[in-house]
Amino acid sequence: MGTGSARLRFETLSETLSESGMKFVAAWAGFLGTLWLVRRAFQMLSSKATKAPTATLESNARVRSPSLKLPPTLHYEKKGHIAVVTFNRPESMNALTVEMLGAMDAAFADFDADPDLWVAILTGAGDKAFTTGMDLKEAIPSLGEGEEMGYEDHTKRPFSDVFKPIIGAVNGYCLAGGLEFLQGTDLRIAAEHATFGLSEVRWGVIPTGGSHVRLPRQIPWAIAMELLLTGQSIDAQRAYEVGLVNRVVPAEEVMTTALELAELICRNGPLAVRTAKEIAVRGLALEGPFVLEKAMGERVFASEDFKEGPRAFAEKRAPRFKGR
C-alpha cells in the first residue's frame, strides 16, 4: 500500500468524524506510524541509508554538489564541514514566503546529500528575528484555499529526514512557524533578547508544523501546554530553564557560539554522529502523531473562527470567536 493511499485522506475525514471516529483516526495514525517504521527498517537493511560520508577529518578532499539557484531571501553557505542557512528578510522579521520554504528544502536536501557537510546551522539575518513564521499575506489565503503549505506528506515535518545535526542560532524573535522550525533542530543557541512563542490560538488558528507532537516531548508538558494554549511568549532565560535551548549568550556571540559547537561535533566520527541522531529520531516514532495533528487541524481551518481570527488581525481588533 503506497504512502498516499495509506493516509486515506485524513484531512477530509476529520471534518465529519464524531468523537468516536476521531479515536479511530488516532489509533489508525498510530498503526500507520508503526507500519512506516517497520517498512523503513527493511529498506535500510537493503539500501545505503546510513552509508558513511566519504570525506574524513584527515582528508582534504572536497565533494560539492552543483551550485543551487536560491532566492536572495535565503542564504546558503558552506564553510568546511559546516553549512550555514540564513533566513534573509530582516526588513520583514525574516517572515517566510512560499519561495523561501522551497529554497530551504533545496538547501537542506543539498546539505543532506553532500558527504563533506556534517553539521548545519540555521539562523536569521539581522538582530531582530530568527523568523516570525509565515508571511501572513501569503499564508492565510493559501491555508483558506486548502493548500498544504509544504506538508503534502503528512508523516513529515521540518527536517524529519535530515539525520545530520542541525544547530539553531536564534538572534531575536522565534515565533509561530519559527518555533516550529526550531523544534526540528537538535541544539539551540539563543541571544539574550530572543523571544519564543506560538501565538496562533490567539487568532483562531493552530500550529500544524509539528508543535503539538514535538514540543511536549522536548520540554515539560505544562510548559508546552502554556505555549500552545495561551499563545503567550517566553524569553530566552525561561527557554533555557525549561530546556528549549542549550545556551543563552550575548547577541554578538550567537553565531560564534554556534560555530564553536558545530566544530566540536565535527571532531567526532561523522557516521557515529549521524547514526546517533537517526536512532534517537526514529525511536520517537512521530509519523503517526504528525498525521493526527494534520487531520485534526483541518477542522480548525474549515471553521468560522479561522476566518474571523486573521480578519481581526488584519483589522487590528480583538477577534469575536464563535467556537465553530
**Which positions are catalytic?**
180, 200
Rounded Cα distance, 320 and 317, in Å: 9
Reading the block at residue 324, the C-alpha cell is: 465553530
Q: How far is CA 48 from CA 44, 53, 275, 287, in A?
A: 7, 11, 13, 22
Rounded Cα distance, 180 and 119, in Å: 20
Element holding 117 (H helix, E strand) = none
Placement of cell 483558506 in the chain: 144
Spatial CB neighbours of 132, under 8 Å, sequence gap ≥ 6: 93, 94, 95, 173, 175, 176, 177, 178
Q: Is 227 exposed, middle or buried (0-12, 13-18, 19+ CB in 10 A)?
A: buried
Placement of cell 501572513 in the chain: 136
Torsion of the alpha carbons at 135, 74, 82 and 161, rounded to the nearest 10: 50
Report H helices in 70-148: 98-113, 136-144
Greatest distance between any 2 Cα atoms in the chain: 63
Element holding 178 (H helix, E strand) = helix 177-183
Q: How far is CA 158 from CA 54, 67, 152, 310, in A?
A: 26, 23, 12, 24
